Amino acid sequence: DTTGIPHRPGRLPVIGDLIGANPRTPLQDTLRVGRRVGPIFTRKIFGFEIVFAGGVDVVTQLNDETKFGKHVGLGIENLRALAGDGLFTAHTGEPNWRLAHDILQPAFSAEAMRRYHPMMLEVAHELTAAWDRATGPVDVAADMTRLTLETIGLAGFGYRFGSFERTEPHPFVTAMIRALRFAQLQNVKLPFARRAFAGTPAQNKADIATMTNLVDEVIETRRREGGESRDLLGMMLSEGHPDTGERLDPVNIRNQAITFVVAGHETTSGALSFALYYLTRNPDTLAKARAEVDAVWGDRDPSFADVAKLRYVRRVLDESMRLWPTAPGYSREAREDVLLGGKYPMQKGDWVIVPLPLVHRDPAVWGPDPEKFDPDRFEPAAVKKRPAQAYKPFGTGERACIGRQFALHEAVLALGMVLQRYDFTADPAYELKIAESLTLKPSGFTVRPRVRNRAR
């Protein structure tokens, strides 16, 4: 029951809040409404109404795992056509969620990161080799996507997509981007608009087949030829549950493989791209970050332990993910009847969406200028003063991101390496434009990398 929950002024009969809603920018449309009427509000298009909650107080309530859990709905439900009961799209009650979560947890331990480090370093060198060769501006989001796709491919599956040798994205990526858009736009209620933006079901079927065929091939090759037993794929093929010994079935392994390739690269790529954007816009921050890299790493390639020593670079990433959390939200479902924000009745099973950029800019917590980029917000003393639920770029509770350490190690490593090696000039006229798919990326943002020290 959404009675009494605020919404955009000027809601119309039948079409609701349709006017001004752009199927390509649902998140940014939501932020606009939230800024105006938030922290709890609804958007309604035809008969379809969604409740959003973006204040730190109400999100603290929603993140209470005893009262709420992850809701698999809307865009995520639509993704089940692609990723089935893979970790991200599974319902928490599905037995395969717990099974896969417990089997895969060790693949994300500190010890596992130590094993992935040399591969992450190798891929970061592919990026710097490409930037060394560049004669003009490089598209940051495109190259960061190359980096993160190669990293999850190599560290997770021993597979090389060859992204840096290609001028066009790998066919898997092209298919993935279309399939994600198709899934997201199934929520658009006007059939002609949906067809115009989302593509056809036949195309979607072909895209899913492209992705499935590739992962089947990679899995088949590993089964036939053996190889690394302790990367993601190795663990899925050879490990059983730590308590029961139960194994993942082949269909679930395929679902997990697709899940990890998709979840494991889009978000990290966006986070790196926003970080570089903010660095080029904030010369003092850039100088400070670079000074840290020079002091801690010097001219050397970083060892595993060197990565976590870049405390300031990490804060740059944290602050970039505050302003633009690249997985921009999650859904929470009530486990029992409750009052949302102490005011609006929710019945068991009702759900709301948490648009993270609103939480991450709540002035009650982040101060009078929450739009300002300032990595010092992540100094330990400042973090300690804030409520724990004010910053959630990796989600919350037992369904939070399993790949957090992987993403952070990879991103700090790559950002450190490009700061170590290049000076950047960015087009001063560029205005941040955000492309939305399942995740966020700065669109059309380029830099000119110039090698700082040719001796290296």
Q: 68, 88, 394, 445: which one is catalytic?
A: 394
| Class of residue 309 by CB neighbours under 10 A (exposed 0-12, middle 13-18, buried 19+) | middle
For the CA atoms of the chain, what is the radius of gyration? Answer: 22
Residue 192 CB, shortest distance to ligand HEM, in Å, is: 30
Residue 250 CB, shortest distance to ligand HEM, in Å, is: 18
Contact 334, 69 (CB under 8 A): no
Nearer to ligand HEM, 204 or 268 (CB): 268
Give the angle subtended at the CA of 392 by the CAs of 418 and 353, to the nearest 5°: 125
Residue 303 CB, shortest distance to ligand HEM, in Å, is: 21
Q: 30, 41, 259, 401: which one is catalytic?
A: 401
Nearer to ligand HEM, 131 or 351 (CB): 351
H-helix or E-strand containing 158?
Answer: none
**For this structure, is 260 an active site residue?**
no
Nearer to ligand HEM, 70 or 360 (CB): 70
Residue 445 CB, shortest distance to ligand HEM, in Å, is: 17
First to last CA, the chain: 63
Nearer to ligand HEM, 330 or 445 (CB): 330
What is the per-residue DSSP string for 197-210? Answer: HH--HHHHHHHHHH
Contact 406, 412 (CB under 8 A): no
- CA-to-CA distance for 438 and 291, rounded, in angstroms? 35
Cβ atoms within 10 A of the Cβ of 115, count? 15
Nearer to ligand HEM, 64 or 423 (CB): 64
List Cβ neighbours of 134 (8 Å cut-off, separation of 6 or more): 448, 449
In this structure, what token pair is assigned to residue 194?
């949906």
Residue 448 CB, shortest distance to ligand HEM, in Å, is: 25
Q: Where does this chain bind ligand HEM (CB under 6 A)?
A: 70, 87-88, 101, 152, 259-260, 263-264, 267-268, 271, 326-327, 330, 393-395, 399-403, 406-407
Q: Is the dihedral of CA 439, 373, 32, 401 positive or negative?
A: positive
- CA-to-CA distance for 184 and 438, rounded, in angstroms? 7
Closest CA to 366 of 393, 340, 385: 385
Nearer to ligand HEM, 175 or 271 (CB): 271
Residue 268 CB, shortest distance to ligand HEM, in Å, is: 4
Closest CA to 320 of 280, 361, 275, 356: 275
**For this structure, is 401 an active site residue?**
yes
Residue 379 CB, shortest distance to ligand HEM, in Å, is: 21
Give the residue nearest to ligand HEM (CB): 403
- CA-to-CA distance for 316 and 378, rounded, in angstroms? 9
**Residue 347 CA to its chain's centroid (Å):** 30
Residue 326 CB, shortest distance to ligand HEM, in Å, is: 5
- CA-to-CA distance for 410 and 432, rounded, in angstroms? 24
Three-state DSSP class for residue 442: strand
Give the angle subtended at the CA of 52 by the CAs of 361 and 395, to the nearest 5°: 65
Nearer to ligand HEM, 88 or 366 (CB): 88
Query: How many separate helices (H) and strands (E) can be counted in the chain?
Result: 20, 12
- CA-to-CA distance for 215 and 255, rounded, in angstroms? 9
Nearer to ligand HEM, 278 or 330 (CB): 330
**For this structure, is 259 an active site residue?**
no
Residue 135 CB, shortest distance to ligand HEM, in Å, is: 30
Nearer to ligand HEM, 264 or 355 (CB): 264
- CA-to-CA distance for 119 and 135, rounded, in angstroms? 27
The residues annotated with a catalytic role in the active site are 267, 394, 401
